[in-house]
Amino acid sequence: MTESGGGDPAEALARQLESFRPDLLRFAFWLARDRSIAEDLVQETMLRAWRSRTELRDAAAARPWLFTIVRREHARLHERKRLPLVDLDDMVARQEPELTSGEEDPQILDLRRAILTLPDEYREPLVLQVLGGFSTAEIAAELGLSVSAVLTRLFRARNRLRDLYGQVPTGTAAEDAP
């Protein structure tokens, strides 16, 4: 990994990793839909990142690298579960304190609840794109999908949010995209 500043490189890296913690926690929360699990995912991510720090050659790649670790940790967590069940109503109610943090606009709060109830297949690429800043090609590589499959999922995710959110564009909305 290259360092742009002076001083102890390890300390600089530690500071850099730490600076990403809020972003990682947000990302982990939207993946796991549970604050406690998100905290643990980020904690484990920090440890793994630190132990694998020699793999990071470019400081600019640190953020997507960390997002990738969070995602893999989350996937690893679910590998052990044969048939995960999610009680949507309970889940939204349980995460209400996180959903209402720093926001009073009822529309945004509704949108947060709607995002939380999106199926994983739609929520994950959407969060990677909007929160992580990943391109569709990067998301495809990350999720092991084709670019067209990612585009479809992103389209459907927004379509669904638009429906749930009550925003209906005029014209011939492409409801039946592939």
Residues 128 to 147 in contact with another protein, rule: CB under 8 A: 129-131, 136
User: Alpha-carbon distance 12 to 5, whole Å?
Assistant: 8
Measure the CA dihedral 5/19/30/51, to 10°. 70
The reply on whether position 2 binds another protein by CB under 8 A is: no
Q: What part of residues 66-95 is at the interface with another protein (CB under 8 A)?
A: 82-90
**Measuring CA to CA, which residue among 130, 31, 150 is closest to residue 86?**
31
Q: Which is nearer to another protein, 51 or 58 (CB)?
A: 51
Q: Which is nearer to another protein, 61 or 88 (CB)?
A: 88
CA of 111: how far to CAs of 13, 108, 158, in Å? 35, 5, 11
The reply on whether position 31 binds another protein by CB under 8 A is: no
Q: How far is the CB of 91 from another protein (least distance, A)?
A: 9
Q: Which is nearer to another protein, 64 or 165 (CB)?
A: 165
Helix (H, G, I), strand (E, B) or coil at 60: helix
Tell which one of 127, 138, 142, 143 touches another protein (CB under 8 A). Answer: 127
The reply on whether position 57 binds another protein by CB under 8 A is: no
Q: Which is nearer to another protein, 68 or 134 (CB)?
A: 134
Q: How many CA atoms lie within 13 A of 66 on its CB side?
A: 32
Q: Which is nearer to another protein, 46 or 56 (CB)?
A: 46
Q: How far is the CB of 58 from another protein (least distance, A)?
A: 19
User: Alpha-carbon distance 37 to 178, whole Å?
Assistant: 34
Tell which one of 62, 69, 111, 143 touches another protein (CB under 8 A). Answer: 111
User: Alpha-carbon distance 72 to 79, whole Å?
Assistant: 10
The reply on whether position 151 binds another protein by CB under 8 A is: yes
The reply on whether position 33 binds another protein by CB under 8 A is: no
Task: Name the one range near another protein by CB under 8 A: 60-68, 69-77, 167-175.
Answer: 167-175
- Give me the residue label for tokens 């996180």: 98
Helix (H, G, I), strand (E, B) or coil at 132: coil
